Amino acid sequence: MDVRLDALGVDIGSRSVEVVGLAGGEVVVSLKAPTAFDPAGQCARLLEGLAAGRTTATGYGRDLFVRTFGAEARLGVVATVTEIQAYARGAAHLFPEAHSVLDIGGQDTKAVVLAPKGRVLRFEMNDRCAAGTGKFLEFMATALQVPLTEFGAFALRGRRGLKVNSMCTVFAESEAVSLMGAGERPEDIALALHLAMVERLSGMLRRNACAAPLVFAGGVARNPCAVALVSEWLGTPAVVPADPDAVGALGAALCALQAAEMRA
């Protein structure tokens, strides 16, 4: 017997898939799995035993989701929204006072300025390369042989002074390797890499006039050094949701719910 929900949101990102289910206006289901090499298969596993009046997919795999699950009656009407819309809706729902959203995922970074009711006033996404994304940190953690989940705390122990100039993931890695060769402490190098990334992000935030309260979402919001440096730039703490990876799926579910209500 399927668990019956009002709406489902599915966020298929480059690194992870999240599912959020809403019933009676509450989040009653929140699931997560790595995207791996089979995003559709991962979605199928997460959605096992779930049913909804309407399902909205977001993330780079959103069109794949519609192709795979568009005809599954138990998921109701299947539609898509972009990550930008999904993160805006999710963040505004969690923090109605929010002015803007910074989402750093596995391969995308986006800055969104919110209009009332979670609408998007303007946005910017990173260019096609990995600079300033979760991928950048993942590469650098590997280069410094620190587990990704500990990389932020590791960097917070660093002292300021070193500078990494390149934001290209490949060049920054060779810079980091040169610094290691020059005998610099890995913690200091890690901090310099985080500073380089946040400097790049700050350009995006400044161009779009993103201001506090700023919701910091996406997987990189779990990195305490990234959060500390973004907060430092803002001059006030960034707002980090309890489950920063699930904001997109929540937003997609809210979009599904709204569409269902508009139909009713």
Partner 1 sequence: MSETTYHEMWEKLNLDLPAHDALLAVLGKFYGDIYMSQQGRLKGMEYLDFVLSEVHGLRIKELQEAKAAGRKVVGAFCVFVPEELTLAANCVQVGLCAGAEAGTELAETLVPRNTCALIKSFIGFKLARICPYIESCDLIVGETTCDGKKKAYEAFSEIAPVYVMEVPQCKSDADRALWRSEIVKYKARIEELTGEAITADKLGQAIRLVNAKRRALNRLAALRAADPAPISGRDALLINQVSFYDDPVRFTTSVNALCDQMEERIAAREGVAAKGTPRLLLSGCPMAVPNWKLPFVVEGSGAVIVGEESCIGTRNTRDLVDETAETLDDMLEALTDRYLKIDCACFTPNAERQDNIIALARDLKADGVIHYALQFCQPYTHEAFKVEKALTRDGLPMLAIETDYGMQDVGQLKTRVEAFVEMLKA
Residue numbers at the binding site for partner 1 (CB under 8 A): 60, 81-85, 108, 115, 119-123, 125, 127-128
Dmax (CA) of the chain: 66
Closer to partner 1 by Cβ: residue 2 or 261: 261
Shortest distance, CB of residue 259 to partner 1, whole angstroms? 12
Closer to partner 1 by Cβ: residue 17 or 84: 84
Closer to partner 1 by Cβ: residue 33 or 64: 64
Shortest distance, CB of residue 226 to partner 1, whole angstroms? 22
Shortest distance, CB of residue 85 to partner 1, whole angstroms? 5
What are the residue ranges of helices labelled H in 108-246? 134-143, 148-156, 169-181, 186-207, 224-234
52 phi/psi in degrees, rounded to 5: -150, 160
CA gap 8, 253 in Å, rounded: 5
Shortest distance, CB of residue 26 to partner 1, whole angstroms? 25
Classified as helix, coil or strand, 52 is: strand
Shortest distance, CB of residue 114 to partner 1, whole angstroms? 11
Shortest distance, CB of residue 49 to partner 1, whole angstroms? 30
Shortest distance, CB of residue 204 to partner 1, whole angstroms? 13
Closer to partner 1 by Cβ: residue 155 or 253: 253
Amino acid letter for position 89: R
User: Residues near 202 by Cβ (< 8 Å), separated by ≥ 6?
Assistant: 233
Q: If we measure between CA atoms, which residue out of 139, 245, 127, 238 comes closest to residue 193?
A: 139
Please give the full DSSP string across 77-93, using - where no structure is assigned: EEEE--HHHHHHHHHHH
Closer to partner 1 by Cβ: residue 38 or 63: 63
CA gap 70, 78 in Å, rounded: 5
Encode 177-198: b = buried (16+ Cβ within 10 Å), e = exposed: eebeeeebebbbbbbbbbbbbb
CA gap 238, 245 in Å, rounded: 15
Closer to partner 1 by Cβ: residue 90 or 186: 90
Closer to partner 1 by Cβ: residue 157 or 207: 207
Question: What residue has token string 């979760």?
Answer: 134
